[in-house]
Amino acid sequence: MSIDEFADLKLFITGPTYIRPEIRKAAALPEFGHRDRENDKRSAPIFSGLKALAGLPDDYRSFLINGSGSTCMEASIRSLVADDEVVLNVTVGAFGDLYHTISLANGKLAVKLEFEPGSAIDPDVLVEAMDKHHPSVVTITHNETSTGVTNDIVSLCKLIRDNNAMPLVDGVSIFGGADLRLAEARPAIYCTATQKSLALPAGFGIGFVGPDAMEKAERVTNKGHSSDILKQLAKAESGQCLTTPNTALLNQMAIQLDHIEHTEGVEARFARHETMRDMVHGFVNGLDGFELFAQEGYRSPTLTTVRCPKGVTAATLKNVLKERMRERGYLFDPGYGKLNTRLEEAGRAAFFRIGHMGDMTPAMLEEYLGELGEELERL
Ligand SMILES: Cc1ncc(COP(=O)(O)O)c(C=O)c1O
């Protein structure tokens, strides 16, 4: 097989995301021993960059877990929910549902609180559910990739704690693209991954762990081995992974986090994401018949969901628009498949998504929106 057979499409999906040339090149840097001091050269910029980008409080600790965002979420459930405790999984879409699936699959007493697609978590409804179920742990999604909704984790984590539970947050598709305000939110654990706004290949889950979670995990039994956050944190103390890591990804990650912290700058990175969100909103508002799908005030800085006029079906998005954009050199995102099916079955319009995160630039986005606009007019 020739390497030319793999298409080099510009990814405007919601992850994995575009990888810039320097980071592609970094994948070819030398392999190294993950228990050797060569590892330290990578781990120093990685952990420093993660801390800066997350705005991590000094009493929090970070780890990299082999796998992806779900692996970190699974470790959070295994390590922080005792077998006799109730975990309330609050969901505004497919990834809130994923936390529930993970909780059930690990034998936990899990209850689900579900909001309408496109809506953010309503705090009053959450309090009612907490009064009813008395959970010890509550999971929430920071940025729901399937609907483009960003929840306010600062007020929600406070509310969860005020109601005597521990907040666990999935931030897979926003970390690296916006200020997480972790020092104010102080979740017990914040789970994320490499392949979204960090603009790296998938391969690690990333966990940011607060002091109360470290203390609680000491008491929770049956945490497993690689899903035990205390074992993960113990190895991360010396900059290492608990199990053998992907050294190519560590090379890329070191170059990328050093670049973000010292060259691009964290604030500039967040500002670029806001600019790109505004560009996409302006584009959608200028389209005839298309509308922003997510609740106003809760629209994601890293991806946008666009509700289509009645004549544009999920099948058109997937079979026609996606293929026409592929011919133009782009990977278009025709919306979250299961959700579009559900919406159409209920007689509602389908939506598509535009990923605008990671190392994408406003110039790249402008070019994409121009071409997408032409194709939307052709439909
Ligand atoms: C919000 C959110 N949570 C969790 C996941 C699952 O992460 P992973 O695919 O890295 O396991 C995703 C993946 O798209 C996501 O967007």
Task: Express each pLDDT in 295-315 by its tens digit.
Answer: 999 999 999 999 999 899 999
Distance separating the N- and C-terminal Cα atoms of the chain = 36
Question: Does the structure show a pLDDT above 90 at 7?
Answer: yes
For residue 140, what is the enclosing H or E element? Answer: strand 137-141
Joined tokens for residue 29: 């840097």
Q: Spelled out in words, what is the top-level CATH class assigned to the domain 21-262?
A: alpha beta
How is residue 261 annotated by DSSP? I
Nearest C-alpha to atom 10 of ligand 1 is from which residue? 69
Q: Which amino acid is residue 154, in one-letter code?
A: V
Q: Which amino acid is residue 371, in one-letter code?
A: E
CA of 377 to the centre of ligand 1 (A): 32
Task: Express each pLDDT in 164-222 by its tens digit.
Answer: 999 999 999 999 999 999 999 999 999 999 999 999 999 999 999 999 999 999 999 99
Residue with tokens 């994601």: 300
Question: Does the structure show a pLDDT above 90 at 54?
Answer: yes
Average pLDDT over residues 347-363: 98
Joined tokens for residue 96: 């809130």
Q: Using DSSP, state whether 252 is helix, strand or coil.
A: helix
pLDDT for position 274:
98
Average pLDDT of every residue of the chain: 98
Report the distance separating Cα 310 and Cα 145, nearest Å: 23
Residue with tokens 């309090």: 127
* Percent over 90 (pLDDT), the chain: 99
CA of 15 to the centre of ligand 1 (A): 9
pLDDT-based confidence at 230, cuts 50/70/90?
Answer: very high
Q: Which of 76, 151, 173 has the most ligand 1 atoms within 8 A of CB, as the residue to mutate?
A: 173
pLDDT for position 3:
86
Residues with CB under 6 A from ligand 1: 15, 68-70, 95, 98, 141, 143, 145, 170, 172-173, 193, 202
Joined tokens for residue 139: 């999971």
Q: What are the residue ranges spanned by the domains of the chain?
A: 3-16+266-378, 21-262
pLDDT for position 188:
99
Nearest C-alpha to atom 12 of ligand 1 is from which residue? 172
Q: Which amino acid is residue 68, in one-letter code?
A: S
3-16+266-378 to CATH, choices 3.50.50.60, 3.40.50.300, 3.30.930.10, 3.90.1150.10: 3.90.1150.10
